[in-house]
Amino acid sequence: MNEQIRLDFQRPERLDFDEAILCARKSDPQLTVIMDRVLAHGARCLMTRLEPDVFARMAPTYRERLDYDPVSRTAYLNWTPPAELELPRIAVVSAGSSDMPQAAEVTRTLTYLGAATKQFIDVGVAGLWRLLESVDELRTFPVIVAVAGMDGALPSVLGGLVPGVIICLPTSTGYGVSNGGETALHAALASCAPGLAVVNIDNGYGAACAAFRALNMIRRAAAAPNG
């Protein structure tokens, strides 16, 4: 049935960013068909949830066209990031080093979309001083992605301290009642800090897109201040 797969090459015209390929639950032949179609189109593509063993099984002809990162499990097909990026306008803040894969998925996706990021790591609330040291700098970012698992208290604290757009990315880090990320998700949604916006558990790609939507509108406003 693979010949029936239809890609959405018109998405950039509608949304200002292009479709990514979620590799999870796709078979090897399905991925091959998709990559062939992208290459035939002369297009580029972001692939997410590409597990190292799936990448390793690909034919060399594909692997050499892919810029693969095993931490974030993302690949750029037919594209490499430029050496120079603009000054970062999006901060990616994470509570612990266990949240690195999700934080890296955010950063890699934003790089692909053309938005530079700065990472703030290990600023969880159990060691509050590490977060407080960074508050003044964080207040200068118009968009922040807050990555947190377990009890998910980081977004609540951030939300009372900085004025920018805050996208909360709960992660599935943890065990017992926090297993699967539901506690972090619910804590971000129930936060008494006003104006937090939340994406699905472990959805680094979605958090990056939400952050990009905001940055995109900010850029438009800067380009056409009276628009």
Q: Find the binding residues for a second copy in span 74-133 (CB under 8 A).
A: 95-98, 100, 103-104, 119, 121-122, 124-130
Cβ-based burial of 5 (10 A; exposed 0-12, middle 13-18, buried ≥19) = exposed
Q: Cβ of residue 78: shortest distance to a second copy, in angstroms?
A: 20
Q: Cβ of residue 67: shortest distance to a second copy, in angstroms?
A: 17
Contacts of 210 (CB under 8 A, 6+ apart): 167, 197, 199
Q: Cβ of residue 123: shortest distance to a second copy, in angstroms?
A: 8
* Cβ proximity to a second copy, 64 vs 175, nearer residue: 175
Site membership for a second copy, residue 6 (CB under 8 A): yes
Q: Cβ of residue 77: shortest distance to a second copy, in angstroms?
A: 16
Site membership for a second copy, residue 5 (CB under 8 A): yes
- Which of positions 134-173 make contact with a second copy (CB under 8 A)? 142-143, 150-153, 156-157, 159-167, 172-173
Angstrom distances, CA of residue 113 to CA of 27, 66, 140, 190? 26, 16, 21, 30
**Do residues 10 and 167 make contact, with C-beta atoms less than 8 angstroms apart?**
no
* Cβ proximity to a second copy, 60 vs 204, nearer residue: 204
* Cβ proximity to a second copy, 78 vs 172, nearer residue: 172
- Which of positions 177-196 make contact with a second copy (CB under 8 A)? 177-196
Binder to a second copy among 42, 60, 82, 176 (CB under 8 A)? 176
Contacts of 226 (CB under 8 A, 6+ apart): none
- Which of positions 19-58 make contact with a second copy (CB under 8 A)? 20, 22, 24-27, 30, 34
Distance from C-alpha of 180 to C-alpha of 23, rounded to nearest angstrom? 20
Q: Cβ of residue 84: shortest distance to a second copy, in angstroms?
A: 18
* Cβ proximity to a second copy, 66 vs 153, nearer residue: 153
Cβ-based burial of 224 (10 A; exposed 0-12, middle 13-18, buried ≥19) = exposed
Longest dimension (CA), the chain: 56
Q: Cβ of residue 225: shortest distance to a second copy, in angstroms?
A: 4
